[in-house]
Structure 1
């Protein structure tokens, strides 16, 4: 009998605990589920964000929940937002919104959908780069390595190599052809080995070009550099120089020996150290040359040049160097007037110069000028140098 009483006691206690637990559950439901169960509308799917200039474009898909009536995009730590109404169809619908007036930098965005009762979905978060003035300031024109007029009259432009991730998308070139027709040409950029050909180019006219940047492959905005003017080099050697390449001509008066005087070139007396002749040698299919030693006097401030009037413009003078063995100094020089300065004065009294070994220099004339171009040499022991061609380019 006692045992039955104990069992009955436990049964009553269990019933009391069960009833108490159910009451607490009911209290919880009354507190947190007033008005029915929690409803979450379907979230936006396939979200993509596209960078732009102080803006972004966000797209996504509505694939399931037909009760969605709007969505909202939050940014700036949810301090700013934009709301877009949605009219759902029975199929897949697309969301698309562009958010302007954003500061430059990395931006975070939160997207939520809503139904007509105001229920909100779980958030979808995404991040994008926003580009602006700072990025624009980093955009520079793609460098040009070389230009030239081709035998067919076209202009070639060799572009500097760039990194594949540089963002350079195009180069836009404006130029004029031989019929005075203006062209505006868009060149697709490739990172390396790029050469552009402009047909029927009007010699003497520069190009104007700018570079177009796309910060990343999906960016919605293009950034442009300022237009830059660039001269196309063309060969004007034959227009101003005479006797400028092999075989070099020598004056009849200088005879038929190894050393003679070159036709068309002014040669000063220190160069004429081979019995009154010099500047031309029969070596290596004929060359322009100066030599000292081996029984000849030193060549101190020896000069050899041609003089002519050049119009305003940008120029490049270059030589093809033959056999040589000298310590110098020996210079390539361009100077205003009818002669060249002494070797010690070349750096200060020339409009362009370079050591002979460099083989070229550039110079600019702001107005039409009488110019002398050639060589200044100081060689004293057993030394000589030879040149097989000279070239003057204008751009």
Structure 2
């Protein structure tokens, strides 16, 4: 009897719950479905948001639901939106819309489709980066490891390697050829080991280049740096100097000693041979060359403030330069020889004013470590920079004592001017 009583109570409670749930469902239907069931249109498929410069392009496909007549894109937390109409065909149709005037940064978008009755699809959500001035300010021209003239008259550029994520797309180069024709060429970027050859390059002239970047793999816009000038490392000696060796030419000659031929200028203090008639040149042979710049002070023939120099025949363009020369020397610690570059065509300074020069180097004086003789055979280089185009004078300054054994002696096989 007790069991039947509990069973009756349980059934009563269960029926009450069922009736209550049905009542709630009826209330929901009255409130939300009084006008019929909710209808959703087919959503856009294969949606992509492509990044750009303060804009994006949204693409997608309509593969179903022929009743779609438009779609709408929402962004900025639904505060902004735009829409485009759709004309459906029997096949797959494509959507494409560009949204401009967007702020730089990461943005979220929602895309919905609509039929003629205003029924919408569920939203499709996508995010994309928008690029602008901040990105533009962050990009720089691709680095150049080296740019040098080649023996065939071309210029060879060796590009610095770049990270694959950097987005370097190409390099645009403008350059003059040997006939003064300006070329504009576009070089597709490789990540590593890339070189570019510019044929028939005009010696002594710079080229200009800029670098294009793709900020994202699917970006619809590229960003470019400004054009930047770059010099080509070249031996420009013959453009600006003459009689630079090997086999220097002489103006006067006694069979061994002489004076260098023009455009070299030799001051009286440099003429330490033949009673002040010759000096600064010798016919001595070394390295297969005969005819070299030289001072020798054996026989008590000192050189005090001796100068041998020549001005460039044209102004050098602004830029960086290197002087290179091959020499052999026996210069004692009581003497010195400098190679000097000075501004203007009036010569090179004396030792007391050497700091006024554009650049200089001291040929070794005194014995190298571990040697009993100061003999030195090497190629020496030094650099200087011009902020503006100008003529410069290049030469040698000597102060060499004549007494003592051994005395002082040096020879120059050649001198070169390199534009960096």
How high is the TM-score relative to the length of structure 1? 0.77
With 94-103 and 10-19 compared, the bigger mean Cα shift is at 10-19
Superposition map of 1:1-395 within 5 A: 14-144=14-144, 146-178=146-178, 181-203=181-203, 206-230=206-230, 232=232, 235-248=235-248, 253=253, 255-256=255-256, 263-264=260-261, 265-266=264-265, 282-285=285-288, 303-311=307-315, 313-314=317-318, 316-321=321-326, 330-348=338-356, 350=357, 352-355=358-361, 358-363=381-386, 366=389, 369=391, 371-376=392-397, 388-393=413-418
Report the Cα distance in structure 2 between the residues aligned to 1:392 and 1:219, rounded to whole angstroms: 47
Report the Cα distance in structure 2 between the residues aligned to 1:377 and 1:39, rounded to whole angstroms: 100
Report the Cα distance in structure 1 between the residues aligned to 2:419 and 2:394, rounded to whole angstroms: 14
Q: How far off is 1:129 after superposition?
A: 1.7
The change in CA–CA distance for 1:125 and 1:342 in structure 2 (over 3 A counts) is farther
Report the Cα distance in structure 1 between the residues aligned to 2:113 and 2:400, rounded to whole angstroms: 87
The change in CA–CA distance for 1:185 and 1:10 in structure 2 (over 3 A counts) is closer
Report the Cα distance in structure 2 between the residues aligned to 1:54 and 1:146, rounded to whole angstroms: 36
Ranges in structure 2 where 5+ consecutive residues have no aligned partner:
363-379
Task: Say if 2:340 and 2:348, in contact at 8 Å, map to a contact too.
Answer: no
Task: Say if 1:69 and 1:115, in contact at 8 Å, map to a contact too.
Answer: yes
Aligned residues: 387
How high is the TM-score relative to the length of structure 2? 0.73
Report the Cα distance in structure 1 between the residues aligned to 2:131 and 2:211, rounded to whole angstroms: 17
Report the Cα distance in structure 1 between the residues aligned to 2:121 and 2:14, rounded to whole angstroms: 42
Report the Cα distance in structure 1 between the residues aligned to 2:100 and 2:280, rounded to whole angstroms: 75
The change in CA–CA distance for 1:20 and 1:205 in structure 2 (over 3 A counts) is closer
The change in CA–CA distance for 1:240 and 1:122 in structure 2 (over 3 A counts) is closer
Superposed CA RMSD: 4.2
The change in CA–CA distance for 1:334 and 1:210 in structure 2 (over 3 A counts) is same
Report the Cα distance in structure 1 between the residues aligned to 2:200 and 2:136, rounded to whole angstroms: 34
Q: How far off is 1:374 after superposition?
A: 2.0
Ranges in structure 1 where 5+ consecutive residues have no aligned partner:
none
* Equivalent position SS for 2:353: helix
With 170-179 and 54-63 compared, the bigger mean Cα shift is at 170-179
